[in-house]
Amino acid sequence: MTDRPVLARVRPEWVDHYGHMNLAFYVAVFDLATDALWPALRLGEPFRAKGLGTFAAENWVAYAREVRLDDPLSATSEVLAHDEKRLLVRHRLFHAEAGFESARCELLFLCVDLALRRVRPWPAENRAAFAASPPGPPPERLALRRA
């Protein structure tokens, strides 16, 4: 048992012909984890009200252990790195009762001016929120800039 809140339960439409959650729905659950993280980083609805948005530029998912129909899922999230226009986040997905890690995901987000549909610098308040987040371990696969 874990103390992390249940983020979602594996739905029937998420289960594939192997009887476990299909890979596409891991990304959907990681998106729910992103939505849960955004308020702490001053993102989400108040950010969009300013005409700004977060667009995912890259993601990487590693699968560790299957989850099945109706399994409860929880997640942890951490800021791995950020710069003027980019934010790198890791989510870890867990079976909320058994406690094992099912998958992890790294996501690279960009700050976007929604009217212009162009990348722009993060506002100072967001950069401060990113910096105030406890630093996570180094990324496994993604980087702020391509090599």
Per-residue HEC secondary structure of 4-44 comes to CCCCEECCHHHECCCCEECHHHHHHHHHHHHHHHHHHHCCC
Contact indicator for 76, 91 with CB cutoff of 8 Å = yes
Structure tokens of 79? 């800021």
Q: What is the pTM of this model?
A: 0.93
- Percent of the chain exceeding pLDDT 70 equals 97
Residue 59 pairs in a beta bridge with 107
pLDDT band at 137 (very low <50, low <70, confident <90, very high): confident
Measured distance between the N- and C-terminal CA atoms of the chain, rounded to whole angstroms: 41
Residue 66 in contact with residue 7, Cβ under 8 Å? no
Give the tens place of pLDDT for each residue, 71-102.
999 999 999 999 999 999 999 999 999 999 99
Q: Identify which of 60, 58, 72, 76 has the alpha carbon closest to the alpha carbon of residue 21.
A: 72
How many CB atoms sit inside 10 A of residue 118's CB?
10
pLDDT band for 136, please (50, 70, 90 cuts).
confident
Q: Residue holding tokens 């399994």?
A: 71
pLDDT value, residue 1? 41
| Predicted confidence band of residue 135 (pLDDT cuts 50, 70, 90) | confident
